[in-house]
Amino acid sequence: MIVNRALLSGLCAVMTLIPVATQDAGPAAAKTLPRAFVSIKDVNGQYAFSPATLTIHVGTKVVWTNKSSAPHTVTGTGGWSFSSAVFGGNHSVSHVFKRAGTYHYMCSIHPYMTAKIVVRA
C-alpha cells in the first residue's frame, strides 16, 4: 500500500500541473468574471468605502470586503435599487454590473458612508 500511495501522490502532483496549460480556453474560462474590489475601512472610528469611486467595465463583479469590526451594508441610492444584507468583519458581498452607468451607494447603518461605481461599456 505504501508503494501505491507514493505512486498515487506522484500522479496527483503531475496531474495538478498538466491542466494549467489548457485553462485559458473553454467553458471554465467563460465563467470567470473580471473582478474589482472595494474595502470598508475604519479610520479613527470613521468608516469608509475605499476607493470611494471605482471605475469598471460592464460585466465586472465588484466585491466589497468589510475590513472593519462594525457591520455594514452596500445600499444603492439615486435610483439604484440594490441592497446587500448586513455583513460583518472579514465578510464580503458582491454584485455583477451588467449595464453602463454611475451607481451611487451608501451604508444603511452609517449613512455618511457614500461611494460610487462607474460602469463603462
What is the contact surface with Cu ion in residues (CB under 5 A)? 72, 107, 109-110
CA distance 119 to 121: 7
Q: Which is nearer to Cu ion, 93 or 107 (CB)?
A: 107
Q: Which is nearer to Cu ion, 28 or 109 (CB)?
A: 109
* Element (DSSP H or E) covering residue 30: helix 27-31
- Residue type (1 letter), 45: G
**What three-state secondary structure class fits 39?**
strand
Closest approach, Cβ 83 to Cu ion, in A, equals 13
Closest approach, Cβ 107 to Cu ion, in A, equals 3
Closest approach, Cβ 117 to Cu ion, in A, equals 17
